[in-house]
């Protein structure tokens, strides 16, 4: 592998990492703060992609479609938390897993009823179309670079939200001690509804912004869900910073694993996870 | 005819309620459900994916199969049909329990499935050891199913993985390419198709410089595309299907590779998905046992009927479902619905003629796999344009099959 190819593969690794972070951030928020294992996270990702495909048919503009999709998903996430998840905070994880698994089945069938089982694609918007010439025969799609930028902005935004705002303070307080926060006058049920809605919206948003470079198809959420769990576990459950670092590590490991060790392409990611867990069972940035 | 029918209802009762029931076609001993329907239904078990990446394939097959059976009056050999559908979930570990459930619990006469080559091998291992049911594969191309695992009661109405890929390798060599990279998902279909393509490409003077196997069903291709760009082959030979095909073809074009390194492959790369691929698929040449614009009356009727019934055009998968139904109709008609006469059913299926097949006439090989034309197609204006025949009446080598 010559140096320019190496650099391009590094770029590929980070770029994949950014995509993973988008999905994993919502997953780690919901798990870390609310203690809910949300198996339906991948299904919300898929729903985001389908919503974009659907809304773009009306708006003709990707950004308007994403904006509309965000509103729909934020409301949907809020309603699901109020009507279903909120009843399970005191139950053990098995019940939550069953509920969110049930949500997968419902969302999958809903998707089949609304959009059928055909494959769709979403066009890349005009202003972000095309690519940058990297080597004599390879271009890098501008839209992929755009996603990376969006992801960095989002990561910064989440950091500020959780660490610098009053809402973030209440979220952190609720996560570390629910009863005490309530005694101090914080409306925890409202905070949790907001966090869950945020998590759902983040999952859907990654499906939306990723839809032009991905194709939109049934079951697209299940593969990404597994890798996202790996990212969350490597980074440390509940840590957004951990999810970011974890996503970069997994993105790079996957890229170089597939190129350098093609025979083991499918296990490299899990081997990295196993090594990290042996060294730090709580994940890179997890609390013990 | 009458004798056959009473024979048939006797079989239904054997091993069960009353050995006397056979003689009393009109007596009060006969349970009412038989009295009302006249005859017990032929049970058609279906094991296909209805969720996940390949759900579209499962639906296309089922739709066309049911349409063909409806056109024939909704009966098999004069008996009504009972469908027992199971979602395969594309899960190889679930293949064996699902198959056993359909055979032992539901006691199906025909077992139609699957889409996935890995599941096909698992099913064939179970079905091939028994005399019944009759298994008909409406898609999965696993070479083994009509190779080492072939059996008298296993038939295929689609293709072997070798068939659509083999002419593709020659095509690349004929178009002047000296080196190629093969890339596919790492499972039965991908591995076997790449092997067939490589075989004929190298036999015609080409050289495959790298075989890239992507873990199934991963769809993040960027690292592989950079690898291809760095190695600079003359051409790329690829197998992906469904959602993966959409994404691969789009990513390949977005990486700027399409202009410099032409993309070839078995027709699944663009079949049923070229609308979603859009401009990225334009100009790609593929080889497959069907082309939408085949100029024969059967194909035109099929396309009109299917579009009318389901609101969208058919694809190669629906063609395979359609022919699966034709095969069942011919088999059941030959024995007047007496599915217990397994030997006669099998003989009828081996000699079946597919006059009304949308892909053009074909017949069964000794290994029970179609002997069929492989067409050369090119994506033009978002449609599969027929360029000609890439290989005429191509028969799978059926390596390791005792029947052949």
Interface test with B, best of A17, A138, A140, A221 (most B CBs within 10 A): A138
Interface test with B, best of A117, A124, A135, A213 (most B CBs within 10 A): A117
Contacts (Cβ under 8 Å, ≥6 apart) of A76: A200
Return the half-sphere exposure (C-beta side, CA atoms, 13 A cut-off) of residue A141.
Answer: 26
For chain B, list residues whose CB is within 8 angstroms of any CB belonging to chain A: 50-53, 55-56, 58-59, 186, 212-215, 217-220, 222-227, 229-230, 232, 242-243, 246-247, 250-251, 254-257, 260-261, 272-273, 276-278, 312
Residue A173: what pLDDT?
87
Which residue range(s) make up the domain with A119? 16-124+143-218
Contact A139 B59 (CB under 8 A): no
Q: Is it the case that residue B397 has pLDDT exceeding 70?
A: yes
Token output for B342: 């397994």
Q: Is it the case that residue B31 has pLDDT exceeding 60?
A: no
Indicate whether A282 belongs to any domain: no
Residue B3: what pLDDT?
38
Round to whole Å and give the CA distance between A148 and A145. 5
Model confidence band, residue B288 (pLDDT cutoffs 50, 70, 90): very high
Residue A166's CB is within 10 A of a number of other CB atoms, namely 7
Contact A118 B227 (CB under 8 A): no
Residue B32: what pLDDT?
42
Round to whole Å and give the CA distance between A45 and A119. 16
Residue A179: what pLDDT?
84
Give A136: exposed, middle or buried? Use CB within 10 Å, 0-12, 13-18, 19+. Answer: exposed
Q: Is it the case that residue B337 has pLDDT exceeding 60?
A: yes
Contact B246 A217 (CB under 8 A): yes
Token output for A161: 């939200």
Distance from the A234 Cα atom to the nearest Cα atom in chain B, whole angstroms: 20
Is A15 an interface residue toward B (CB < 8 Å)? Answer: yes
Higher pLDDT, B216 or B128: B128
Q: Domains of chain B, with CATH numbers?
A: 41-159+295-372 (3.40.50.2300), 162-288 (3.40.50.2300)
Q: Is it the case that residue B7 has pLDDT exceeding 70?
A: no
Contact B217 A223 (CB under 8 A): yes
Whether the CB-CB separation of A48 and A224 falls below 8 Å is answered with no
Indicate whether A206 belongs to any domain: yes
Round to whole Å and give the CA distance between B215 and A122. 25
Contact B226 A138 (CB under 8 A): yes
Residue B11: what pLDDT?
40
For tokens 């409806």, the residue is B70
Among the partner residues A112, A143, A259, nearest to B223 by beta-carbon distance: A259
Whether the CB-CB separation of A66 and A241 falls below 8 Å is answered with no
**Chain B residues with CB-CB distance to A266 below 8 A:** 186, 215, 218
pLDDT 10s digits, B43-96: 999 999 998 878 889 999 999 999 999 999 999 999 999 999 999 988 899 999
Tell me, what's the ipTM?
0.86
Whether the CB-CB separation of B301 and B328 falls below 8 Å is answered with no
Which of B4-8, B38-42, B59-63 is least confident?
B4-8
Whether the CB-CB separation of B205 and B173 falls below 8 Å is answered with yes
Whether the CB-CB separation of A173 and A182 falls below 8 Å is answered with no
**How do beta strands B235-239 and B263-266 pair?**
parallel
Task: Report helix, strand or coil for B380.
Answer: strand
Token output for B343: 């030997």
The domain tally of chain A equals: 1
Chain A, chain B: beta-carbon pairs less than 8 Å apart:
130
Interface test with A, best of B184, B219, B222, B281 (most A CBs within 10 A): B222
Indicate whether A271 belongs to any domain: no
**Chain B residues with CB-CB distance to A222 below 8 A:** 52
Q: Is it the case that residue B226 has pLDDT exceeding 60?
A: yes
Indicate whether A129 belongs to any domain: no
Round to whole Å and give the CA distance between B266 and B245. 11
Token output for A75: 């409301």
Contact A5 B220 (CB under 8 A): no
Is A86 an interface residue toward B (CB < 8 Å)? Answer: no
C-alpha closest to that of A41 among A53, A54, A30, A52: A30
**How do beta strands B42-48 and B79-87 pair?**
parallel
Q: Is it the case that residue B20 has pLDDT exceeding 60?
A: no
For tokens 């030979």, the residue is B237
Distance from the B253 Cα atom to the nearest Cα atom in chain A, whole angstroms: 9
Token output for A190: 């409202």
Whether the CB-CB separation of B83 and B338 falls below 8 Å is answered with no
Is A254 an interface residue toward B (CB < 8 Å)? Answer: yes
Contacts (Cβ under 8 Å, ≥6 apart) of B203: B169, B170
C-alpha closest to that of B271 among B304, B225, B240: B240
Angle, in degrees to the nearest 10, between helices B342-350 and B316-334: 130
Q: What percent of chain B has pLDDT over 90?
A: 77
Residue A83: what pLDDT?
94
Return the half-sphere exposure (C-beta side, CA atoms, 13 A cut-off) of residue B58.
Answer: 22
Q: Is it the case that residue B349 has pLDDT exceeding 70?
A: yes
Higher pLDDT, B301 or A171: B301
Distances in Å between the Cα of B69 and the Cα atoms of A15, B79, B81, B348 are 50, 12, 9, 18
Which letter does DSSP use for residue B294 in this model?
-
Distance from the B225 Cα atom to the nearest Cα atom in chain A, whole angstroms: 9
Instruction: State the alpha helices, DSSP H only, in B204-234.
Output: 222-231
Residue A288: what pLDDT?
64
Higher pLDDT, A20 or B11: A20
Indicate whether A194 belongs to any domain: yes
Residue A222: what pLDDT?
87
Contact B222 A215 (CB under 8 A): no
What are the residue ranges in chain A where pLDDT is below 50? none
Contacts (Cβ under 8 Å, ≥6 apart) of B312: A118
Distance from the A275 Cα atom to the nearest Cα atom in chain B, whole angstroms: 21
Average pLDDT over residues B200-211: 96
pLDDT 10s digits, B228-247: 999 999 999 999 988 889 99
Among the partner residues A137, A141, A143, nearest to B229 by beta-carbon distance: A137
For tokens 């019944």, the residue is B132
Indicate whether A283 belongs to any domain: no
Among the partner residues A215, A218, A220, nearest to B250 by beta-carbon distance: A215
Round to whole Å and give the CA distance between A155 and A192. 20
Contact B214 A265 (CB under 8 A): yes
**Chain A residues with CB-CB distance to B56 below 8 A:** 117-119, 217-218
C-alpha closest to that of B243 among A218, A73, A28: A218
Radius of gyration of chain A (CA): 19
Average pLDDT over residues B125-145: 94
Round to whole Å and give the CA distance between B83 and B46. 7
Which letter does DSSP use for residue B40 in this model?
P
pLDDT 10s digits, B169-190: 999 999 999 999 999 998 889 9
Higher pLDDT, B24 or A174: A174
Which of A89-103, B10-24, B206-220, B342-356 is least confident?
B10-24
Indicate whether A39 belongs to any domain: yes
C-alpha closest to that of B173 among B262, B255, B270, B267: B262
Among the partner residues B222, B246, B260, nearest to A137 by beta-carbon distance: B260
């Amino acid at each position: 592998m010559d140096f320019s190819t190496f650099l391009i593969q590094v770029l590929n690794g980070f770029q994949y990492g950014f995509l993973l972070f988008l999905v994993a951030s919502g997953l780690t928020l919901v798990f870390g703060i609310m203690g809910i294992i949300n198996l339906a996270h991948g299904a919300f990702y898929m729903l985001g992609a389908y919503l974009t495909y659907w809304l773009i048919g009306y708006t003709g503009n990707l950004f308007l479609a994403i904006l509309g999709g965000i509103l729909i998903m934020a409301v949907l996430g809020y309603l699901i938390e109020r009507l279903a998840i909120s009843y399970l905070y005191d139950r053990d994880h098995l019940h939550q897993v069953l509920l969110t698994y049930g949500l997968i089945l419902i969302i999958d069938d809903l998707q089949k009823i609304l959009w059928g089982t055909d494959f769709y694609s979403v066009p890349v918007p005009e202003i972000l179309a095309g690519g940058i010439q990297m080597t004599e025969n390879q271009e890098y799609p501008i839209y992929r670079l755009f996603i990376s930028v969006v992801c960095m902005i989002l990561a910064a935004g989440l950091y500020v939200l959780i660490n610098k705002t009053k809402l973030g303070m209440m979220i952190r307080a609720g996560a570390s001690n629910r009863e005490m926060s309530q005694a101090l006058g914080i409306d925890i049920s409202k905070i949790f509804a907001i966090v869950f809605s945020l998590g759902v919206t983040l999952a859907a948003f990654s499906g939306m912004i990723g839809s032009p470079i991905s194709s939109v198809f049934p079951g697209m959420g299940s593969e990404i869900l597994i890798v996202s769990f790996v990212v969350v576990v490597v980074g440390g459950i509940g840590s957004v910073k951990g999810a970011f670092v974890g996503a970069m590590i997994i993105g790079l490991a996957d890229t170089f694993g597939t190129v350098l060790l093609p025979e083991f392409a499918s296990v490299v990611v899990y081997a990295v996870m196993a090594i990290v867990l042996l060294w730090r069972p709580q994940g890179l940035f997890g609390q013990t | 005819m009458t004798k056959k029918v009473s024979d048939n209802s006797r079989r239904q009762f054997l091993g069960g309620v009353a050995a006397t029931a056979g003689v009393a076609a009109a007596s009060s001993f006969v349970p009412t459900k038989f009295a009302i329907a006249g005859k017990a239904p032929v049970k058609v078990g279906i094991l296909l994916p209805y969720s996940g990446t390949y759900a579209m394939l499962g639906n296309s097959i089922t739709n066309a199969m049911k349409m063909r059976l409806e056109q024939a009056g909704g009966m098999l050999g004069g008996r009504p049909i009972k469908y027992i559908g199971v979602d395969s979930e594309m899960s190889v570990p679930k293949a064996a329990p699902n198959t056993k459930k359909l055979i032992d619990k539901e006691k199906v006469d025909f077992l139609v499935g699957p889409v996935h080559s890995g599941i096909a091998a698992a099913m064939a291992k179970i079905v091939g050891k028994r005399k019944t049911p009759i298994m008909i594969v409406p898609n999965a191309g696993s070479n083994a199913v009509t190779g080492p695992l072939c059996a008298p009661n296993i038939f295929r109405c689609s293709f072997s993985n070798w068939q659509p890929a083999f002419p593709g390798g020659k095509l690349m060599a004929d178009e002047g390419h000296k080196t190629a990279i093969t890339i596919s998902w790492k499972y039965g279909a991908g591995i076997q198709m790449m092997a067939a393509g490589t075989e004929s490409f190298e036999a015609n003077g080409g050289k495959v410089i790298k075989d890239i196997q992507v873990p199934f069903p991963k769809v993040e291709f960027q690292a592989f595309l950079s690898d291809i760009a760095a190695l600079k082959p003359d051409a790329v030979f690829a197998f992906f299907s469904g959602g993966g095909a959409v994404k691969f073809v789009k990513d390949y074009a977005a990486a700027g590779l399409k202009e410099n390194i032409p993309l070839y492959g078995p027709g699944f790369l663009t079949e049923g998905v070229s609308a979603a691929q859009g401009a990225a698929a334009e100009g790609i040449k593929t080889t497959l046992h069907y082309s939408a614009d085949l100029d024969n009356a059967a194909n035109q009727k099929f396309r009109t009927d299917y579009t009318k019934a389901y609101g969208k055009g058919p694809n190669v998968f629906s063609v395979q479902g359609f022919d699966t139904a034709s095969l069942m109709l011919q088999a059941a008609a030959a024995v007047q619905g007496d599915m217990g006469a397994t030997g006669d059913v099998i003989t009828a299926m081996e000699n079946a003629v597919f006059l009304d097949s949308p892909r053009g006439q074909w017949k069964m090989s000794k290994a029970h796999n179609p002997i069929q034309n492989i067409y050369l197609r090119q994506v033009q204006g978002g449609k599969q344009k027929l360029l000609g025949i890439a290989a005429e009446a191509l028969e799978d080598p059926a390596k390791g099959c005792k029947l052949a």
